[in-house]
Structure 1
Amino acid sequence: MKFQVLTLFPEIPQAFFESSIMAKAVEKGLVSYNLVNIRDFAYNKHKTCDDATYGGGAGMLMLPEPLALALESAGVRPSDAVFPELKNPGKRVIYVTPSGKPLTQELAQKLAGEPELVFVCGRYEGIDQRIIDSYIDDEISIGDYVMSSGELAATVIIDTVYRLIDGVISCESLDEESFSDGLLEYPQYTRPEIYRGQAVPEVLLSGHHENIRRWRLRKRIEKTLRVRPDLIGKNRRTGVYSEEAEKIIEEIQNGNGSDKDY
């Protein structure tokens, strides 16, 4: 998969692409990237990329012309009113903004199937609506809050997506993660067996794989009920959970406790 990031501050995503698991994915050829500095396309000697908004109001808005030229340098072309489906074959252009649709694991899975994602990182009060209308495929938000850095928001989305690409992370790790089947992840432990008086649960030391599986499922359900009951309600309505999971949910809600032995 290829990521292109259009930004006024390329040093921010640069650090991410050169670190940790992402750096290994790039080295293996699983991921490639291109950072486009929008200032390179500014048309005056001061490299100005923002101006006041029409109609008044606080803050500045990113100018459309440098951003459009930056997008076109990345191989993105404006929408075609006659053949909109031919706009940008093989590319999906994303503007990260608090007013976009929320990022979810389901959306990340869909984006991971794209051959190329192009991110527009906003600053100031955002970008000119005409750029959104002409070039952007998706407006995506990482949460109900406002940040000053579109680069950080884009990096969050990229991190959520690239780890789903085949070969980046083991399939087993992905299968048991939070949200993988409508539940949050179970608690995990490592050495030492006793840490400051707190012991690892005995079931995890038993070597009994079926008991461990059942314990982990119950702990996932307990945590989801406690932290994200909205997920339980939504997924029960849509029939996501197995018969076993549904039974455990009923047990917990009927007060049968959280320290069930296996």
Structure 2
Amino acid sequence: MIVEGLTVTIPTQEITAIIGPNGCGKSTLLKALARILIPAQGKVEVNDINIHSQPTKEIARQLGLLPQNPRSPDAITVSDLIRRGRYPHQSIFRQWSSDDETSVDMALSLTGLTNFSERPIDELSGGQRQRVWIAMLLAQETPIMLLDEPTTHLDIAHQIEVLDLLKELAKRNNRTIVMVLHDLNLAVRYADNLVAMRDGKIKTAGKPNNVVTAQMIHEVFSIEAQILQDPVTGSPLCIPMMKST
């Protein structure tokens, strides 16, 4: 997907959700932020520094990416996978240390996985596996976390489990989180900021209360909808209208 003419600022220590229909460029934008894709024009900056001007390991100490449907090696345990998050901090002159072990223990604790540390990942539920991948990002100790559809293929209970965890990390651990989400109402409920895309372009961005309108839903998703107030959070709640038969 080609995206063009994009200008977006990601607020720090908050959750930003990228929303839009399939094929609109959400994952492409996330990959550009993660330095997987190189912009033909323009630049991506972290702390006012172009990420393409920095060494790979330096970037990996600043931002971590959880792609769609990550795969783990067969029979690997929870703790072994989380330890891989420490790779950016290793070098010829700096091997595994007590600081690395502390970071892994912290990641296990924050994600509620301490009692699962020696379990093979294959034995875990979908929600637990996703928590392991998030724990690996935490062990990487990056201030910025990028997640591409972290709730894909999870049932509603496990979706809430993962999103509650991310909300807690942003709030209590000062993480900047950018994630692609398909469920608009979950995005509104959990994100501090929304970026709405259509056809490779950003249509609007800002706080959910300002972004989510019936007009935006029509322009971005090509459907009619009513916007009500979420009785739990007070945030906008999108109710799609059924097509007349």
TM-score scaled to structure 1, two decimals?
A: 0.26
When Rg is computed on C-alpha atoms for both structures, the one with the higher figure is 1
TM-score normalized with structure 2 length: 0.27
